[in-house]
Amino acid sequence: MQFTQDTPSRTAQTIFWLAFVLAWLVLLGTRALIHPDEGRYAMLSLGMLQSGDWVTPRLNGLLYFEKPALQYWAGAIAFKLFGINEFAARFWPGLTGLLSILTVGVTARRLWGNGHHAALVMAGTTWIAANSHFLNLDTGLSFFLTVALCAFVVAQQDDARAPTIRHAMWLAWAAMAGATLSKGLIGLVIPAGSLFCYSLFCWDWRPWRRMHWLSGLLILLLLCAPWFVLVSLRNPDFARFFFIHEHFERFLTTVHGREAPFWYFLPVLLIGFMPWTSLLPRLIIDGMRRASSDGFQTGRFLLIWALFVFAFFSKSSSKLPSYILPMFPALALLLGQSLTNMRAVTLKKHLWVPLLLWAALACALPLTHFLPEDPGTPATAYTELATWLSIGGILFLLCGALAWRALSREKTLAAIMFLCAGSLGGVLCASQGHDAIGRLKSSKDLVAQIQTYVHPETEIFSINVYEQTFPFYLQRPVVLVNYEDEFAFGQRVEPTRSIASLDAFVARWKAAPEAMAMMQEETFNTLSQRGLPMKTVYRDIRRIVVVKQ
237 and 324 assigned to the same domain: yes
314 and 350 assigned to the same domain: no
Backbone angles phi, psi at 66, to 5 degrees: -70, -30
Which three-class secondary structure state does DSSP give residue 480? strand
334 and 456 assigned to the same domain: no
465 and 435 assigned to the same domain: no
Residue 286 is predicted with a pLDDT of: 83
Residue 524 is predicted with a pLDDT of: 96
Please choose, from the candidates 188, 190, 192, the residue with its C-alpha nearest in 3D space to the C-alpha of residue 313.
190
Mean local confidence (pLDDT), 494-498: 95
Question: Which of 442, 465, 491 is the last residue before a domain boundary?
Answer: 442
Structure confidence by residue, pLDDT tens digits, 425-463:
999 999 999 999 999 989 999 999 999 999 999 999 999
Q: Does any domain span residue 450?
A: yes
Residue 441 is predicted with a pLDDT of: 86
How far, in Å, CA of 39 to CA of 401, rounded?
39
Question: Per-residue pLDDT for 205 more than 60?
Answer: yes
Which residue range is the domain that position 109 belongs to? 65-341
Structure confidence by residue, pLDDT tens digits, 110-145:
999 999 999 999 999 999 999 999 999 999 999 999
Question: Per-residue pLDDT for 287 more than 90?
Answer: no
Mean local confidence (pLDDT), 73-85: 98
- pLDDT band of residue 540 (cuts 50, 70, 90) is very high
Question: Which of 341, 361, 386 is the last residue before a domain boundary?
Answer: 341
- pLDDT band of residue 6 (cuts 50, 70, 90) is low
Question: Per-residue pLDDT for 160 more than 80?
Answer: yes
448 and 404 assigned to the same domain: no
Question: Per-residue pLDDT for 396 more than 70?
Answer: yes
Question: Which of 324, 341, 358 is the last residue before a domain boundary?
Answer: 341
Q: Does any domain span residue 479?
A: yes
Q: Which residues pair with 463 in a beta bridge?
A: 481
Q: Does any domain span residue 319?
A: yes
Q: Does any domain span residue 21?
A: no
Domains of the chain: total: 3
Q: Tell me the whole-structure pTM to 2 decimals.
A: 0.94
Q: Does any domain span residue 41?
A: no
Q: Does any domain span residue 456?
A: yes
Question: Per-residue pLDDT for 312 more than 80?
Answer: yes
- pLDDT band of residue 262 (cuts 50, 70, 90) is confident
Residue 293 is predicted with a pLDDT of: 57
434 and 503 assigned to the same domain: no
Supply the mean pLDDT for the chain: 92
Backbone angles phi, psi at 499, to 5 degrees: -120, 125
Structure confidence by residue, pLDDT tens digits, 210-254:
999 999 999 999 999 999 999 999 999 888 888 776 766 665 665
Q: In what order do the strands lie in the sheet with 479-481?
A: 479-481, 459-463, 515-519, 544-548, 534-539
76 and 182 assigned to the same domain: yes
142 and 219 assigned to the same domain: yes
Residue 1 is predicted with a pLDDT of: 38
Mean local confidence (pLDDT), 367-387: 80
Contact between 535 and 520 under an 8 Å Cβ cutoff? The reply is no
426 and 455 assigned to the same domain: no
Question: Per-residue pLDDT for 3 more than 70?
Answer: no
180 and 274 assigned to the same domain: yes
196 and 238 assigned to the same domain: yes
Residue 506 is predicted with a pLDDT of: 96
Output DSSP code: residue 467. Answer: -
Q: Does any domain span residue 36?
A: no
Mean local confidence (pLDDT), 315-328: 91
Which ranges of 113-137 does DSSP label H, i.e. alpha helix?
116-124, 126-132
417 and 271 assigned to the same domain: no
Structure confidence by residue, pLDDT tens digits, 31-65:
999 989 999 999 999 999 999 999 999 999 999 99
Q: Does any domain span residue 38?
A: no
Contact between 288 and 303 under an 8 Å Cβ cutoff? The reply is yes
